Amino acid sequence: MTRKLERPFLMESNLATYTGAATQREGRIEMSDTIYKYEGKDVVVTYDVKRCIHAGECVHGLPQVFDPKTKPWISPDAADVDALLQTVMRCPTGALHLEREDGATETADAESSVMVAADGPLYLRGHIQVLDADENVVLEDTRVALCRCGASNHKPFCDGSHVGAEFEDAGDLGNVEKAAAAAATGATVQLLPFRDGPFLVRGHCTLKDAFGEAVTDADGKALCRCGHSANKPFCDGNHKRVGFRDDT
In order along its 248 residues, the chain shows pLDDT tens digits of: 222 223 323 333 333 333 333 454 544 555 556 799 999 999 999 999 999 999 999 999 999 999 999 999 999 999 999 999 999 999 999 999 999 887 777 889 988 999 999 999 999 999 999 999 999 999 999 999 999 999 999 999 999 999 999 999 999 987 777 766 665 566 899 999 999 999 999 999 999 999 998 889 999 999 999 999 999 999 999 999 999 999 75
Strands (E), 96-162: 96-100, 113-116, 122-131, 137-146
* Count of structural domains within the chain: 2
Considering the domain architecture, whether residues 58 and 136 belong to the same structural domain is answered as: no
Q: What is the pLDDT of residue 154?
A: 93
Considering the domain architecture, whether residues 64 and 87 belong to the same structural domain is answered as: yes
Evaluate whether residue 247 is within a structural domain.
Answer: no
Residue 146's beta-bridge partner residues?
122, 157
Evaluate whether residue 248 is within a structural domain.
Answer: no
Considering the domain architecture, whether residues 39 and 14 belong to the same structural domain is answered as: yes
Indicate the residue among 100, 123, 141 that finishes a domain: 100
Considering the domain architecture, whether residues 59 and 84 belong to the same structural domain is answered as: yes
Evaluate whether residue 2 is within a structural domain.
Answer: no
Q: What is the pLDDT of residue 1?
A: 24
Q: Would you say 53 and 93 are in contact if contact means Cβ atoms under 8 Å apart?
A: yes
Q: What is the pLDDT of residue 12?
A: 37
Domain that holds residue 164: 113-242
Q: How far is CA 87 from CA 64, 80, 105, 194, in A?
A: 12, 11, 14, 33
Considering the domain architecture, whether residues 186 and 120 belong to the same structural domain is answered as: yes
Considering the domain architecture, whether residues 76 and 134 belong to the same structural domain is answered as: no
Considering the domain architecture, whether residues 128 and 216 belong to the same structural domain is answered as: yes
Rounded to two decimals, what is the model's pTM?
Answer: 0.85
Long-range pairs, 36-41, Cβ under 8 A, ≥24:
36/10, 38/72, 38/74, 38/75, 38/76, 39/76, 40/75, 40/76, 40/77, 41/76, 41/77
Indicate the residue among 50, 78, 100 that finishes a domain: 100
Evaluate whether residue 137 is within a structural domain.
Answer: yes
Helices assigned H by DSSP within the chain: 57-61, 81-89, 161-164, 238-242
Q: What is the pLDDT of residue 215?
A: 87
Considering the domain architecture, whether residues 118 and 96 belong to the same structural domain is answered as: no
CA 63, 69, 70, 73: dihedral to nearest 10 degrees? 60
Residue-wise pLDDT for 169-185, tens only, equals: 999 987 777 766 665 56
Indicate the residue among 100, 131, 150 that finishes a domain: 100
Three-state SS at 101: coil
Q: What is the pLDDT of residue 180?
A: 62
Residue 43's beta-bridge partner residues?
100
Considering the domain architecture, whether residues 88 and 38 belong to the same structural domain is answered as: yes
